[in-house]
Structure 1
Amino acid sequence: MDQLLSAICDGTSTGDTAMRLNRARVSLYRSIIDTGWFDIEGAKTIMVGPNEAGKTAVLQALQQVNPPSGIPKFDALRDYPRSKYNDITTQRVDPKTVMVVQVEFDLDDDDRASLPESMRSAKYLRGRRLDNTAWEDLSDAPQVPTYAAIEKDLTRLCTHIDSRVEATTPGEPAPSAGLRAITIGWTSSTTIDGERAAALKAWLDKALLLIDESNETEEKRYDGIVAAAKIHLDRAAALAVLEKRVPIFVLFNNYFRVKPLIQLDHLAQRLSTNVLDDTQYDYGNVCLLKLLGFTVHELSDLGKAAAPPANNPAALQIYRDQLDKRSYQLNAASVQLTDEIRSVWRPREGRAEADKLRIQADGQYLKVVVEDDLGVEIELHQRSEGFQWLVSFFVVFFAEAAGKHRNAILLLDEPGLSLHGLKQREFRSTLSRLSESNQAIYTTHSPFLVGPDELDLVRVVEMTDRKTGTKVHTTVASGDPAALLPLQEALGYDLAQSLFTQERNLVLEGLTDYWYVEATAALLHAAGLISLNEKIALIPAASAGKVVYYATILYAQNFKVAALLDSDSSGEQAARQETLIHTLGNKGILRTKDAYSGPVTNPEVEDLLRETLVKVAKDALGVDTTAQAKAHPDRPIIDLFSSVIGGFSKYKLAKAYVRWTRDHVANDLTDVEREQFKTLIDKVNKALK
């Protein structure tokens, strides 16, 4: 911790980096045997699961990819799974070979521009072993070739240049003799790297002058061999560049608090001697000072300084400027913190405005107070635990984000525990905003920190038994009902709110239909093509058969209700239910076939996005069904996917589509898809006008 405080004090910076974590895997760490690879979202990722599932262990392991200085490293005695530790002591397992954490980064345009051209399509892999050695590699990039890959071309090239030398300068040593000296001992599996590649490249440079310029075949052969010899150099250069751009992984598993009253001289002494009597407060207080733009010594010295004599106007001006600078910076920080606090800590009903934070300096004391709507100033520690936590969080975050940990990957363990549920909901949007520039992964048990539109961001962490260990699921699936409890509570709370607050309601068959309609409507609205009435609430039912229950309850509350049903067999059966017809009337029962213009007889919502989903499935699921889709244009796309893709999941496809919409616009849909959804949205608006 002392080293971490020193790093914060010196204000060093890692520099900007746009690299983003794409997926991760943790193995043989505490409760974890092997999580398996799991996806990480580009902005924020939410991990849910019961106590003792291993959520904190996952974050702790991830931090070791590139931790801040001063963070404790892996310790085989403490961190290797206890049930397997005998393998370490008996030397059946060497810590040097134990891969604990592996991650894959996606690169952006700036990252790629800094790499050799041959490596610009690569993804960057990095990890750390149990002995704390790091490793790195590139995927989706040219691999270092073996001798077998170029041996035939070298033989043919030698034949060409040997014959030319013999014809022009008889008696001269054949160039191939020099190559044989280089390749002595090489086998088919010998990699062309290091000194081998350097020696081969030197021989090739000399051979170039002996090639017949008019012989295109040999010129092309030579270029191919040179490219193969250079691959290891390009890979090494790319890895050297990317290593410097890796973001720091910052774990906040114990949120430090800002002390409401700081004795500057005492804090300066503790930092100077590394004797910290209250580490949590000292860390938070140093962050506060960093946010203000002062070191503790600067503020302490200002508090000690005496006013110069009145007959020395130059000294008086310097002294006044110093005090004004301190006052202005304290005020600016107070305003920034107040604005952020107000974005979450909204005023109660009947109050004119939320509380104001004030940071005041008086001699050797730095004081944090809260001014209420009456103008009364109260010390921070007299406010609620939740309010103190929120203030401390913003202080620590802004101090870290502005300096050493700018553009870091933030690992937040159970943020906002002391906040009221409704304030957690508001803080959820704050986390979304912060994650735009600092990729964030956080764990939670709270349903208020998981939005109903964020289920695609959720990773379920579970441990069904100790032998299997912790598993992380990219999809919302778990054998442990407790792992899904926050999601069920989040959906239940949002459903309860939406069921009885919105006058207009569209009931959908399921969650995937909800995602398709909401995401596509957002694309069309952004393009100015058509807008779904913002007063319409989208209500996902568990199945087509349960649509009637939701519709009946809403109708009984005198709300306007419509239902969107697929035109498959289950949708048809639900549409024919007398209760639903009686409740909604024929105009209130919308069918996907009413908006669909293709040859599928019984279209589902997914068929309205048929061609785009084929592309999404290819990119996200790694299965190209283009040919099958063209060969069977009258077959429902979900039916086709199910027959072609092993273990196909409608949920996973829908989640991939939601991700796709975040990086695309309405024009990226086909003309037919846009028109079909415009028709659908128009019918929904008219049914619920």
Structure 2
Amino acid sequence: MRLTRARITNFKSVLDSEWFTFDDLTCLVGKNESGKTALLEALEKLNSVRPERADLSETSYPRMNWSEYEESEDVDVALTTEWELDDDEYAEVMAMAGSAEAVTSRKVVVAKNYDNKLTWTVPVDLAEAVSHAVENSGLSEQEKQELSEAGDTAELLATLKNVGEPSPQQEALLKELTERWPKGGVQSTVRGYLEDRLPKFVYYDQYDRLPGRVSLDQLLAAKANGTLEQLTGSQVFLALLSMVGSTPEAINQIATSEELISKLEGVQTRLSKKIFKYWSQNRHLKVRFRFDQASPGDPAPFNSGKVFQTRIENTRHEATIRLDERSTGFIWFFSFLVWFSEVQKQHGDNLVVLLDEPGLTLHARAQEDLLRYIREELLPRYQVVYTTHSPFMVDAANLLSCRTVEDATGPNEEVLGTKVGDQVLSTDGDTLFPLQAALGYDLTQTLFVGEHCLLVEGPSDLLYIQWACDQLRQQGRTPLDSRWTVTPCGGITKVPSFLALFGGSKLHVAVLTDHGAGDKKKVRDLRESDLLRDGHVFSADMFAEGGPGEADVEDIIGRDGYLQLVKATYGLTVKQTLPKKAPADAPGRVTVEVEDHFRTLPGAVDEYGHFGPSRYLIEHPDVLGTHAADALDRFESLFKALNALL
């Protein structure tokens, strides 16, 4: 059975979540206090692996409506879930119903109310099941007629049992149907079958963490007093002992044992391999367990009896520290793996995993590791539902698996309670922020689609390079190597920010920048910095028509060619074009000369911009005419210099 939809009602902050759907991996995104935890807690109540957490309590009913509910005689429903049968389950239900026509769909609805009663709606047409059983019974027409008035399968069985002197055919039919419907009818029999198939919910939050050390005396006392739930981390520690194949009672009786040591070493090796397959923050760590007599000088309760310690060894520094002295993110990750190992051992694979704010204390990279663990280790066997408000816990490649969660109000500030948006839509910016951030980060990362990145200042530079590459390639000459990914970064001042942001990706970066009056010091500083390898900063003047000096990428095209391009782009008349020969006082950069000239033109002429001519050149690649040859020679020199860096 696979969870497909749910509707939470009258539970804590959730008045009516409305129906929302589930994928194999479902992410509930919302800001703090939006009701994400309440949604998971309600789902867990349907069929929790922990009996003490399974029952609905009236204290969970929304306080704002409690007095009215207390006065009524109704028993409200807290959650309604819809499940889809797999192929084997569907075939089994058809066999119970007796025919495919009697099974109306693969959907099963299971609801739970505040009396903690489950209500099942199974997809069986009772009238069709009765009709099929009667028509294929081998009974006489008169006997069929007597049974055809049965309203459902339970009534059909009762009618057969009450026949005074049954014929052999009636006895055979009663035996067949009793075997097919051992619970007194098809509906109750199907329900009994599906009750055993209903997945259990496992809920984990950030508070279930393994302690660095545990006093066996304290743990045994809490267990005897029935207060184990109040002892922080006790469930995770019991899960750890289970991995060793032991219990607190058994381990407390051991004075010294090679068998125990070997088991502990086996588990610590297994855990180390599992953890550090996904924990990329530090590869120099190993898990170590110790079980010793308490030292009298330690604080209570660790100063008497026996103490179990979980320690983490840093092989680089050759030292160990207790687990609880490491980062909270690492403790969470370690504890989750231990806890979930025991859940699998006890409850098998028929589970829905609920994770409340997983990895909340993890670094962004470690959150990505956790998502990878969920995808690779959990999803092949389980459905997973988790809550977050971190953009790094949102899979940008699978945004449609996200559901927005809001504490909503109506037009007149009417309290609507927690709502779940099933289509990743919200009018609240705070709710959408993690989704926007995740998508923005992903889009920014995908700017770098190769190992070798050439940063240019703007999109017009990108188009000029594209034009030159296309033309050179057609002529069998040297274009920019396809391994280079050309990326606009918004100017030379943005280059350090880009390198700082993406330097961890170990990209090979070169820069092509303009060389204006205000840029010379910036270019020099960039060349002298440690941000880029030597010889990886190219300025336009190195390949421009006029040689060293001030130059933009447009000057690599050359003055005559660029003026012809500008004339064609803006449809300038002969009188509106710039003079063929540059005036003596003309700026060194052709773009500045064009900007100054456009200020003298009538208002009917479109405003000049750097991008317009570059786009026109891409759309009309032959517009430069005879000026293209010199331009391509200069671009080819640039490309050869860049390709030599590969």
Task: Compute the TM-score of the two structures, normalised by the length of structure 1.
Answer: 0.57
**1:463 corresponds to 2:379:** no
Distance 2:425 2:484 in 1: 29
The residue correspondences of 1:180-191 to structure 2 (distance < 5 A) are 191=151
Kept in 2, the 8 Å contact 1:145–1:191? The answer is: no
Distance 2:484 2:166 in 1: 75
Q: Secondary structure at the match of 1:70?
A: helix
**1:130 corresponds to 2:114:** yes
| 2:81 corresponds to | 103
Deviations 1:400-452 (A, max 9, x none): 22223643211111111111112111111112222322321000000000121
| Higher Rg of the two aligned structures | 2
For 1:358, give the aligned amino acid: R
Distance 1:126 1:197 in 2: 26
Kept in 1, the 8 Å contact 2:206–2:357? The answer is: no
Change in 2 beyond 3 A, CA 1:277/1:38: closer
| 2:431 corresponds to | 483
Offset of residue 327 of structure 1: 1.9
Kept in 2, the 8 Å contact 1:265–1:297? The answer is: no
Distance 1:204 1:362 in 2: 77
**1:296 corresponds to 2:278:** no
Aligned residues: 441
Distance 1:424 1:272 in 2: 38
Q: Secondary structure at the match of 2:53?
A: coil
Distance 1:502 1:237 in 2: 59
**Alignment counterpart, residue 234 of structure 2, candidates 276, 282, 285:** 282
Kept in 1, the 8 Å contact 2:280–2:369? The answer is: no
- Consecutive unaligned residues of structure 1, counting only runs of 5 or more, are 1-18, 163-174, 211-221, 306-322, 506-533, 540-554, 560-576, 588-689
Change in 2 beyond 3 A, CA 1:502/1:332: same
Kept in 2, the 8 Å contact 1:498–1:537? The answer is: no
Distance 1:110 1:204 in 2: 39
**Alignment counterpart, residue 318 of structure 2, candidates 356, 368, 375:** 375
**1:79 corresponds to 2:55:** no
**Alignment counterpart, residue 125 of structure 2, candidates 113, 123, 142:** 142
Distance 2:60 2:217 in 1: 40
**Alignment counterpart, residue 61 of structure 1, candidates 14, 34, 42:** 42
| 1:192 corresponds to | 152
**Alignment counterpart, residue 37 of structure 1, candidates 11, 19, 26:** 19
| 2:343 corresponds to | 400
Offset of residue 99 of structure 1: 1.8
Distance 2:270 2:84 in 1: 33
| 2:386 corresponds to | 442
| 1:167 corresponds to | none
| 2:476 corresponds to | none
Distance 1:208 1:538 in 2: 86
Deviations 1:468-512 (A, max 9, x none): 22221221111222221110010111222222464699xxxxxxx
For 2:213, give the aligned amino acid: L
| 2:308 corresponds to | 366
| 2:197 corresponds to | 245
Offset of residue 287 of structure 1: 1.6
Deviations 1:291-321 (A, max 9, x none): 2221111111113x6xxxxxxxxxxxxxxxx
| CA RMSD across the alignment | 4.0
**Alignment counterpart, residue 260 of structure 1, candidates 202, 212, 217:** 212
| 1:630 corresponds to | none
Kept in 2, the 8 Å contact 1:115–1:237? The answer is: no
Deviations 1:331-363 (A, max 9, x none): 121122212321332255xxxx42111123335
| 1:387 corresponds to | 330
Deviates more, 1:110-119 or 1:278-287: 110-119
The residue correspondences of 1:312-391 to structure 2 (distance < 5 A) are 323-347=257-281, 353-363=283-293, 364-372=306-314, 373-391=316-334
Change in 2 beyond 3 A, CA 1:586/1:104: farther
| 2:74 corresponds to | 94
Distance 1:535 1:105 in 2: 49
Offset of residue 208 of structure 1: 8.7
Offset of residue 580 of structure 1: 7.2
Change in 2 beyond 3 A, CA 1:275/1:476: closer
Q: Secondary structure at the match of 1:483?
A: helix
For 2:19, give the aligned amino acid: W
The residue correspondences of 1:653-668 to structure 2 (distance < 5 A) are none
Offset of residue 557 of structure 1: 6.9
Distance 1:282 1:378 in 2: 20
Distance 2:417 2:322 in 1: 46
For 2:122, give the aligned amino acid: L
Distance 2:445 2:87 in 1: 42
Q: Secondary structure at the match of 1:499?
A: coil
Kept in 1, the 8 Å contact 2:209–2:233? The answer is: yes
Percent identity between the two aligned chains: 28
Q: Secondary structure at the match of 1:102?
A: strand
Distance 2:38 2:383 in 1: 19
Deviations 1:124-155 (A, max 9, x none): 3212012211111213x4344599x89xx99x
**Alignment counterpart, residue 51 of structure 1, candidates 10, 32, 42:** 32
Distance 1:409 1:557 in 2: 50
For 1:474, give the aligned amino acid: D
| 1:492 corresponds to | 440
Change in 2 beyond 3 A, CA 1:503/1:335: closer
Change in 2 beyond 3 A, CA 1:394/1:361: same
Q: Secondary structure at the match of 2:253?
A: helix
Offset of residue 537 of structure 1: 9.7
Kept in 2, the 8 Å contact 1:464–1:479? The answer is: no
For 1:362, give the aligned amino acid: D
Change in 2 beyond 3 A, CA 1:113/1:504: farther
Kept in 2, the 8 Å contact 1:24–1:37? The answer is: yes
Offset of residue 325 of structure 1: 2.6
For 1:337, give the aligned amino acid: L
Change in 2 beyond 3 A, CA 1:386/1:209: closer
Distance 2:29 2:310 in 1: 35
Distance 1:297 1:492 in 2: 53
Kept in 2, the 8 Å contact 1:450–1:490? The answer is: yes
Kept in 1, the 8 Å contact 2:96–2:190? The answer is: no
Kept in 1, the 8 Å contact 2:288–2:312? The answer is: yes
Offset of residue 75 of structure 1: 2.3
- Is the helix fraction higher in 1 or 2? 1
Change in 2 beyond 3 A, CA 1:291/1:233: same
| 2:355 corresponds to | 412
Change in 2 beyond 3 A, CA 1:537/1:198: farther
Q: Secondary structure at the match of 1:128?
A: strand
Q: Secondary structure at the match of 1:403?
A: helix
